[in-house]
Structure 1
């Protein structure tokens, strides 16, 4: 058996518990060998109240969990603040981490790992809203707010909520191969799974409304793949139309060119990363498909009329300038 202990606490996010446990249970039903033995553990051994107000029965008291573990997974949620400063909880998590083949945290569960000293000098991620706070509280932790999930050695962290499912599918694939992971994804009626480096920021990029399904689908693809080759020929091939026809569609439904739409999405994605992370502009430029930090600086100026440093200090996202979709003919 692959023994998996899920650590929960009051005001945990119920999806952070349900996504991993359900995916692993389905893997078992589809013939995972060896199967997963899933246990829920809490500091007291009693059930916990999720942040939605729904109770979840506790299976084990953390202090009573002994022996080797395959996976220790700490969930996130509104209760992470109290959980991170709970010395008893932290001591038990630290003890169990020493017996586990791998350690994982969903969303703000990484605050518990960080408080226990388990992710110092490791690259981790968390929900975009909490990344700056995590970095400020734990300067020895390398916080990367961009990916859906991160693996650093035997430690896995995810952005939270539904990305817990992406992380768990990745764990299943590591353990049993891609075929079983695909089968689990089909049972869950979800994507095979989104790649680890797909940017969290894609959800911020609200595509302009379009009455054309092909254009809508391409805009969604662009927002989730900012670092990829997104020139008009590549996009046209993906849509199975000619580059000329794609350009006509974008002009008719969006009033812009594919290249300008791509540049606008990349610039907006970069601006969100500038505000939510301490990443240098060179790293942000690379993640968002810009050739250099200087190219990104110019794009921010063209799109918002302000520099990256100014955006980082602003209390809210700046508003794009009128007619600033992008100023270059090629994405």
Structure 2
């Protein structure tokens, strides 16, 4: 009989509840699937806190720790560090930082979810490592910890075929932590069982770690919103039209230079990149919904030839349109 592997997750005041419960549920569901197959559960789950009292998460739900991290024997297989509003305060706790540094060489796997990467970085554990975090915290990670190789577009940095990236890794926000947990389960128990877990949780199996973080279509929020609002509303309904900078500027009654300046200041990207993102999002939605063939989707969304769409998918999502469609089939 294989001894159970301890998966421990740190909790602290104002932690993001989904950063904790999402990944932990993946491991729990893996145990359920093994039980259905007549096998012993592989994972034992624990929550570790500073003390023994219930911990209030950022949404108000209280989580009960199993043991204080200060006295834990560190017989841990996988240690997860979640993010949340309270992470900044944890970064100022020298005892916790020292404990993380002590734990790193003793656990088989150490990973973060969302802004938990800031805590690992503050402990000095991410120096020289590739790391990601929630898109809203990428700049903080990059500016505050220049020794870290920040790869802000990625979902997670776990790689079972790389000794460094299979021991110490990070993930982006909330659902990316679930993607990370699925990747860990797949490494432990194989793709078939991980797929069963994903199906049970109605999850995508599995978004590659180097896939870009998805985000909703952006809308302007500053003084230029009125000048761009009509154009931004028109673009998604006319993706097969000429959406060059010159054509968009003419429709908006602006010079190309003024249009580019407004896009940069209001959306943080130029018109060309924005149009590419809208086309990508539209194509992804059509393929996920199995609403049309790859060739038809390419035509409807303005990519023209399927090869153009394939290159854009590879660039931003690290999958081809065919692979994306197959994963959701």
Q: TM-score range by the shorter chain?
A: 0.5 to 0.7
The number of residue pairs the alignment matches comes to: 247
* CA spacing shift, 1:242–1:99, aligned 2, 3 Å: closer
Which residue in the other structure is 2:20 paired with?
Answer: 17
CA contact (8 A) 1:106 1:161 kept: yes
The TM-score normalised by the length of structure 2 is: 0.66
- Determine the C-alpha separation between the residues in 2 that align with 1:200 and 1:14: 20
- Determine the C-alpha separation between the residues in 2 that align with 1:166 and 1:186: 13
3-state DSSP of counterpart to 1:173: helix
Q: How far off is 1:50 after superposition?
A: 0.6
Query: Which residue, 77, 81, 92 being the options, matches 2:88?
Result: 81
User: More deviation in 24-33 or 175-184?
Assistant: 24-33
- Determine the C-alpha separation between the residues in 2 that align with 1:82 and 1:184: 34
- Please state if 1:258 is matched with 2:261: no
CA RMSD of aligned residues (A): 3.5
Which residue in the other structure is 1:116 paired with?
Answer: 123
CA contact (8 A) 1:2 1:34 kept: no
Query: Which residue, 7, 11, 14 being the options, matches 1:4?
Result: 7
Alignment of 1:1-331 (within 5 A): 1-31=4-34, 35-151=42-158, 152-204=165-217, 208=236, 219-220=280-281, 222=283, 239-240=292-293, 247=299, 249=300, 257-259=302-304, 287-288=315-316
- Determine the C-alpha separation between the residues in 1 that align with 2:48 and 2:95: 13
The TM-score normalised by the length of structure 1 is: 0.66
Deviations 1:20-47 (A, max 9, x none): 1111111011117561111000112322
CA contact (8 A) 2:295 2:305 kept: no
Which residue in the other structure is 1:293 paired with?
Answer: none
Which residue in the other structure is 1:296 paired with?
Answer: none
* CA spacing shift, 1:26–1:11, aligned 2, 3 Å: same
Q: Which runs of 5+ in 1 are unaligned?
A: 211-217, 225-233, 251-256, 270-285, 290-331
- Determine the C-alpha separation between the residues in 1 that align with 2:112 and 2:123: 12
* CA spacing shift, 1:170–1:157, aligned 2, 3 Å: same
